[in-house]
Amino acid sequence: MAESVRFRRVLLKVSGEALLGDQPFGIDEKVIDRIAGEVGQAVDLGVEVGLVVGGGNIFRGMTIAKAGGNRVAGDHMGMLATVMNAIGMHEALERRGISSRVFSAVPMPTICETFSQQRAERALKRSKVVLFAGGTGNPFFTTDSGAALRAAEMGCEALFKGTNVDGIYSADPRKDPNAVRFDTISHAEVLARGLQVMDTAAVALARDNGIPLVVFSIQEPNAFVDILRGQGRATIVADE
């Protein structure tokens, strides 16, 4: 009999920064291989997995904007960074024999497929991991928003954010040693308190579509699968 899991279809957002490992830039092959393996375990549990990888290990548009440059051009570069990471993750999955497809919000047909909800749906139903690259395809957004958008479009039961911290705190735990961690919190409270672990647009989109958020440390080996099994450490964001 199939093992029971909390969700049957999820969107996993992995922050680009998490792929750095010990490096200052780019992708640590050991890290991406471990994450690919954990995604494969989720598929083996019968979970349909959509995957969004951020671009923070390569480029963020705000870097250019803060230096007085053109934000739109910077965001275009950031979106391309997310495509690079998606291709890297696709390779890592395929090396492990985990079938996956890359759909980009920005058409680049010689490199990967252009996003189509219908084709992504068919791929998920066939137990393929679906990588959503290029964020929303628009500047002034982030991959958190892209992940919330795809989670809504694909009818995901939860949006997992795998990041460098083990949940949502009352303040950024990397800056405030007195920050207090939440086990559960509502979307409304995350927004009202201005908690920055995910961007506001993403939290609002998840709230409006009744999608719970699960914030956990992707640095913690097996956390993703443990949480799917009803164990593991995470902050759950859900309506009261």
Ligand X SMILES: Nc1ncnc2c1ncn2[C@@H]1O[C@H](COP(=O)(O)OP(=O)(O)OP(=O)(O)O)[C@@H](O)[C@H]1O
Scanning the chain, the segments in alpha helix (DSSP H) are 29-44, 61-66, 71-95, 117-125, 143-153, 187-193, 200-208, 223-228
Residue 142 lies near ligand LLZGTKA7 (rule: CB under 6 A): yes
Q: Specify which residues 113 forms β-bridges with.
A: 103
Which pair of tokens denotes residue 129?
């991991």
User: Which of 50, 54, 61, 88 touches ligand X (CB under 6 A)?
Assistant: 54
In the list ligand X, ligand LLZGTKA7, none, the entry touching 163 (Cβ below 5 to 8 angstroms by class) is ligand X
Residue 173's binding partner among ligand LLZGTKA7, ligand X, none (Cβ under 5 to 8 angstroms by kind) is: ligand X
Computed on alpha carbons and rounded to an integer, the radius of gyration of the chain in Å comes to 17
Which one of 139, 200, 220, 232 is in contact with ligand LLZGTKA7 (CB under 6 A)?
Answer: 139
Q: Give the Cβ contact number of residue 206 at 10 Å.
A: 28
- Residue 138 found at the interface with ligand LLZGTKA7 (CB under 6 A): yes
Q: Residue 40, interface with ligand X (CB under 6 A)?
A: no
Angstrom distance (rounded) from CA 199 to CA 167: 15
Strand order, beta sheet including 9-14: 113-114, 100-104, 129-133, 48-53, 9-14, 158-163, 213-217, 235-237, 184-185
Size of the residue set binding ligand X (CB under 6 A): 21
Contact track, ligand X, 187-216, x by CB under 6 A:
--------xxx-------------------
Which residues sit in the known binding site for UMP? 55, 75, 136-143
Which residues make up the interface to ligand X (CB under 6 A)?
Answer: 15-17, 54-56, 60, 142, 144, 163-165, 168-169, 171-174, 195-197
